[in-house]
Structure formats: C-alpha cells, structure tokens
Amino acid sequence: MNIIFVLLPLSLLLGGFFLGAYIWSVRSKQMEDLNTPPLRMLADDDCQTIINQKGE
C-alpha cells in the first residue's frame, strides 16, 4: 500500500490549501457580515434590469 505515501501528502496538500484559504477568509474579514451578502446578490442586476424594474 505504498501508494499511500503519494495520496496522503497529496490529500493533506489539498486540505492544507483549503485550510489556508479558510484562514485567509477569516482574516480578511470575509465572515464579518453574513447578513447582507445573500440580500445583495439578489439585487446585483445589470443596468438594463434596473431600468426595466424602475420602469414598472
């Protein structure tokens, strides 16, 4: 089962990458506000849609 010497570091590397990404996201304040993002994405329309909506 020597292949484990390849798969284990590889999986740990992938895991490590994502761990790093997680830590980065916390430190760069990505998790500070969890309330506005779901609402903001609903309204992130392009100009034409805004114009269309305003014209209603």
Partner 1 sequence: MERIETFAYDDGIVRKFVLATVLWGVVGMLVGLVIALQLAVPELNFGLPWTTFGRLRPLHTNAVIFAFAGNTIFAGIYYSTQRLCKARMFSDTLSKIHFWGWQTIIVSAAITLLCGITVSKEYAELEWPIDIGITLIWVVFAINFFGTLIKRREQHIYVALWFYIATIVTVAVLHIVNSLAIPVSLFKSYSVFAGVQDGLVQWWYGHNAVAFFLTTPFLGLMYYFMPKAAERPVYSYRLSIVHFWSLVFLYIWAGPHHLLNTSLPEWAQTTGMLFSVMLIAPSWGGMINGLLTLRGAWDKLRTDPILKFFVVGITFYGMSTFEGPMMSVRSINALSHYTDYTIGHVHAGALGWNGFISFGMIYFLLPKLWKVPVYSQRLVMAHFWTATIGIVLYILSMWTAGITQGLMWRQFTEAGMLQYPDFIETVVKLKPFYWIRVLGGALYFIGILLAAYNVIKTLGVSKRAKADLTDSSAQAKALVPTTLTGSWHHKLEGRPVLFTVLTLIAVLIGGMVEIVPMLAIASNIPTIPSVKPYTALELEGRDIYIREGCYTCHSQMVRPFRDEVIRYGEYSKSGEFVYDHPFQFGSKRTGPDLHRVGKKYPDFWHYRHMKDPSSVVKGSIMPPYPWLFNNDLNLSLTKRKLEVMKQLGVPYSEGEITNSESNLKSQAATIASNLITQGAPADSTLQNKEIIALVAYLQRLGTDIKGDTK
Query: Both tokens of residue 30?
Result: 């990505």
Using rule CB under 8 A, residue 53 touches partner 1: no
56 counts as binding partner 1 under rule CB under 8 A: no
Is there binding between residue 1 and partner 1 (CB under 8 A)? yes
| CB of 55 vs partner 1, minimal distance in Å | 15
Query: DSSP labels for the chain?
Result: -TTHHHHHHHHHHHHHHHHHHHHHHHHTTTTS--SHHHHHHHT---HHHHHHHHT-
Positions that interact with partner 1 (CB under 8 A): 1-7, 9-25, 27-28, 30-31, 33-42, 44-49
